[in-house]
Structure 1
Amino acid sequence: MGCMLLMRQLLLLVWKNFLLQVRRPIGTVVELVFPLFALVAILGIRRIPGLADLMRTCPVTFQSTEFNFPQDYLLYAPPNNITDAVMDEVANKLSSRHNVVIMPVASQDVFVPLTLDMFPEIEDSYNYTRYGAVYFDQLEESGKDLSYTIRFPYEISWFTNYVTEDFTSLFRALEESIIEYYANQTDRAVPEIDLKMKQLPFPPTAFNFFLQVLDLGLGLLVIISFLYTAATITKELVIEKETRIRESMLMMGLRQWVLWASWFIKQLLFMFVWVVAYTILFKYAGVWPRSDGFLIFIFFLLYITSIIAYGFFISVWFSSPRIALFVSFVVFFLSYIPSFFITGFDQQIPYNGKLALALFSNTAFDLRLRVISILEQSQLGLQWDNVSEPLSIDNPLNMGAVFGMLIFDILLYMIIAW
């Protein structure tokens, strides 16, 4: 009998809360129209001709003539007949665009470490960066064993995306020159050398401008579409507290958890339509076509749940509905601001720092958008077998961790509200 009574009370309170929703038609329409606007905007962007076309970037073949070597001076050691011949050929290859001066030195001690104070004739650090060096650890007449080291000034930041400059061009020229030298020594034909380069251990990727656009604005667009809903949840709870309705029901024997559960169920049912709508759109309208539909569903379900938990959390601090509404607006929007720091300083923010910023549910939501976008561009999509896989060797962020942080946010908001 006790369980039946609790269930009856719960259903009656859910019905009461839906009646309150119907009795404010303008607010209800706004809550429905804002997410609809976001959906229409996403579909509109998706329909722009050519925007969602994939531009594959890996693998790429590079020819020797395409390489660029901006260094003007190239040191090498030790000088001998073999290294002199090899480096002369290297100079010919690198000088196709720049006049590279080859400078033999006695040993690698001269340029290890290769620092600015070693070149007093250089007036500024910019010119100093125009030096490079090669040390032949082993280079025998037979050609059976060879080893060399390439060095550049260590004060310079070298980025791997500059595949046609500096290290790569010198490495290619050295390999070709060494092969040609030993081929000529044995009267063999010089083989045709073709270099195919792709980034490892990253999976093949295809640049998708549509997903890049969504990365910049999708999170903000969805969050704004639910801004009014989040604030309204807070306001309705505070109104119930201000009018003493909640206190009266508790005095008549209603249990506290039944009251909160009724609001949670009502709001979840009301917003569930958007969980389904967003899942269908993102899976079948070409936004995230490679991702698992059920995982997308969980993705939006957790976000909707976090909005409800957020409304509960904010409501307990206020007795005035107007103040609660205003604060809920402001805090909900500000909880997205950490996402801008992650965008601007992604490489500088450590993995644990990103998870800490995900304590803000809207930031956690935006992080999940980024993870799925990266997985979509890698032609994998979000799948059950890569939920806990890091995005790359130097980016340990994964969907499982972000899911976990959002669940933690929901529990944290609920506990604080309790």
Structure 2
Amino acid sequence: MMERAIVNTFVGHDVVEPGSYVQMFPYPCYTRDDFLFVIEHMMPLCMVISWVYSVAMTIQHIVAEKEHRLKEVMKTMGLNNAVHWVAWFITGFVQLSISVTALTAILKYGQVLMHSHVLIIWLFLAVYAVATIMFCFLVSVLYSKAKLASACGGIIYFLSYVPYMYVAIREEVAHDKITAFEKCIASLMSTTAFGLGSKYFALYEVAGVGIQWHTFSQSPVEGDDFNLLLAVTMLMVDAVVYGALTWYIEAVHP
């Protein structure tokens, strides 16, 4: 339009030919989905609350075995300590994998995370389940009474979600810039890492593309260095750290 005006000025009359056609650059329409906005904040909290019972019962069963001296009997019979923990891990993972698979089906085919890849959803929840089991192991070596361990384990598990609430409030309410390093430090609590990962699922669903393998290591937020891949990596780091602490504490203070 500016070029046509300049030409008209120079030649002294209106130039009709050739004609010009202007339109907006094609881009998907923005849709505001309040449900996904709620999911971003409530999905991690609901998952933490829903698994409190599983965490408490797992801790109670492990400590009850120790409280009744059954573990000492099995060690006397020649059971290796590593085999004992592997057996508990398999038991816990089989139980939680049922919940993980059912939840994946609900999220994907219940039109909650309809755009995200189903395998990524399952992988994310499965890694979180592994970190949760290792958290149960860590709490179980700190107590010798099953009932007390069960009650305290559930409380500690829920309190580990507090760092995510702090990060979310600072980012969304105070609009502070929180670096990826600070988020990684906060993600040493497995529930916090899970909360941050759930947030990226919701953000990509709002964009209408969902989490895919090519967006697994990217953030939809401008200037954000954290992403779902880092959240999953921190969950695996948490599992290793919890396992190492379990081995150390049990060796030093059995």
Whether TM exceeds 0.5 here: the answer is yes
- Aligned pairs (5 A) from 1:7-406: 186=10, 205-346=30-171, 347-406=176-235
- Quick check: which one's helix share is greater? 2
Deviation at 1:406, TM superposition (A): 0.6
Query: Scaled by the length of structure 2, what TM-score is found?
Result: 0.84
Paired residues of 1:241 and 1:319 also in contact (CA < 8 A): yes
Q: Max radius of gyration: which structure?
A: 1
Paired residues of 2:93 and 2:133 also in contact (CA < 8 A): yes
Give the aligned residue type for 2:180: Y
Deviation at 1:206, TM superposition (A): 3.3
Q: Which runs of 5+ in 1 are unaligned?
A: 1-175
2:236 to 359, 383, 407: 407
> 2: distance between equivalents of 1:204 and 1:391?
16
> 1: distance between equivalents of 2:240 and 2:157?
17
Across the aligned residues of Structure 1 and Structure 2, the Cα RMSD in angstroms comes to 2.7
Give the aligned residue type for 2:131: S
Paired residues of 1:391 and 1:397 also in contact (CA < 8 A): no
> 1: distance between equivalents of 2:203 and 2:13?
48
Q: 1:371-398, CA deviations, whole angstroms, 9 ceiling, x for partnerless residues?
A: 1111112222111122112334411222
Give the aligned residue type for 1:338: P
Q: Cα 1:285–1:189, aligned 2, differ >3 Å: closer, same or farther?
A: farther
Q: Residue 32 of structure 2 aligns to a residue in which SS?
A: strand
Q: Cα 1:382–1:258, aligned 2, differ >3 Å: closer, same or farther?
A: same
> 1: distance between equivalents of 2:124 and 2:45?
16
Q: 1:211-258, CA deviations, whole angstroms, 9 ceiling, x for partnerless residues?
A: 101112121111101111112211211111111111111111110011
**Runs ≥4 residues deviating over 2 A:** 178-199, 203-207, 389-393
Deviation at 1:298, TM superposition (A): 0.7
Deviation at 1:183, TM superposition (A): 7.7
Q: Which runs of 5+ in 2 are unaligned?
A: 248-254
Q: 1:133-157, CA deviations, whole angstroms, 9 ceiling, x for partnerless residues?
A: xxxxxxxxxxxxxxxxxxxxxxxxx
Paired residues of 2:179 and 2:225 also in contact (CA < 8 A): no
Aligned residue-pair number: 239
Q: Residue 278 of structure 1 aligns to a residue in which SS?
A: helix
Deviation at 1:407, TM superposition (A): 0.7
> 1: distance between equivalents of 2:237 and 2:40?
24
Q: Residue 233 of structure 2 aligns to a residue in which SS?
A: helix
> 1: distance between equivalents of 2:14 and 2:153?
76
